[in-house]
Amino acid sequence: MAGRFAGRAAIVTAGGSGIGAATARRLASDGASVVIADLSGTRAEQVKGEIIGAGGKAVTIKMDAADPEAIQATIKLALDSFGRLDILFNNAGMAEVGLIHETTLESWNRVIAVTLTSTFLGLKYAIPIMRASGGGAVINTASISGIHGDYGMASYNAAKAGVINLTRAAALENAKHKIRVNCVCPGGINTRVVQILGKGRADEFRKNMAAMHPVGRMGEPEEIANTVAFLASDEASFITGASFVVDGGVTAQTGMPPFRS
């Protein structure tokens, strides 16, 4: 398949649904050969089928992104299947709701492991491969929740803030090796997370989230995928260490009500 990523190989973690699935499809449509890594092998296989059906190349692996051995196995699969690794999208993450004084250490550690440590592990094991091959692009999924706080989501806020600064540190360490490291900070995106956080009231949750955005709606996974594809491309060759906010205007406001409609 021809495209701006023709001849390149990519890994997408949490690639079986939502932003990950949309990004895997987008990268493949632009010519990349994609490894779809997801905790759900069934969802990963479904995305793989869609990509292959559209004429692209993809393989899958069932992977826990917080497991160092699983990350290494995923990178090995990319090298064994496609002979290279050019793009890494560290997209795995999770949130658990709870006030700080009520949050268990187990819950805290779980959110940090899946959201922040997974990003560290992806960088740790992919960077030597990219250095040896002459460069690459890494995009990490952060969040506007890493820029501002949320009531009752301290562990997620801390993890996503960590992803943002880890992105900066990795960018500085690897710029001279032609490895660009950036992150994307989505606002509210219409994914299966709506069902999880909505706890049986998904429609109401979605309506409230839409109202929070000045554009009047939640974002769609494909809109984040577009940003990731840009950051992975040569069009972003002078961009590294950046946090790209894609939030429908949420962080542009102070919260003050409008003086006139």
Q: Quick one: pLDDT at residue 198?
A: 61
Residue 205 vs residues 187, 194, 218, 234, 255: alpha-carbon distances, Å: 14, 7, 11, 38, 19
**Backbone angle region of 244, left / alpha / beta, with phi > 0 → left and psi within -120 to 50 → alpha:** beta
Distance CA(8)–CA(30), nearest Å, equals: 10
Torsion (CA) 122, 4, 132, 138 in degrees, nearest 10 = -20
% of the chain beyond a pLDDT of 70: 97
Structure tokens of 126? 């992919």
Distance CA(88)–CA(137), nearest Å, equals: 6
- Reference 240, options 178, 180, 155, 159; nearest CA is 180
Q: Which amino acid is at 221?
A: P
Q: For residue 22, give the H/E element and its range.
A: helix 18-29
- Beta-carbon contacts of residue 99 (< 8 Å; ≥ 6 apart): 152, 154
> Domain 9-188+220-247, what fold?
Rossmann fold (3.40.50)
pLDDT (tens digit per residue) in 167-184 = 999 999 999 999 999 999
Instruction: Report, as an integer, the average pLDDT of 19-41.
Output: 97
- In the three-class reduction of DSSP (H, G, I as helix; E, B as strand; rest coil), residue 40 is classed as coil
Q: What residues are labeled active site?
A: 156
Kindly provide the residue ranges of all beta strands, DSSP E only, lying in 104-178, ordered along the sequence.
Answer: 136-141
Q: For residue 122, give the H/E element and its range.
A: helix 118-133
Distance CA(17)–CA(38), nearest Å, equals: 9
Would you place residue 256 in the very low, low, confident or very high pLDDT band (cuts 50, 70, 90)?
confident
Q: Which amino acid is at 214?
A: P
Biggest alpha carbon–alpha carbon distance for the chain: 60
Check pLDDT > 80 for residue 260: no
pTM of the full predicted structure? 0.94
Q: Quick one: pLDDT at residue 197?
A: 65
Check pLDDT > 90 for residue 200: no
Would you place residue 11 in the very low, low, confident or very high pLDDT band (cuts 50, 70, 90)?
very high
Instruction: Report, as an integer, the average pLDDT of 226-237.
Output: 98
Distance CA(261)–CA(259), nearest Å, equals: 7
Alpha helices of 177-248 — where are they, by DSSP H? 193-198, 202-212, 221-232
Q: Quick one: pLDDT at residue 255?
A: 81
Q: Quick one: pLDDT at residue 153?
A: 96
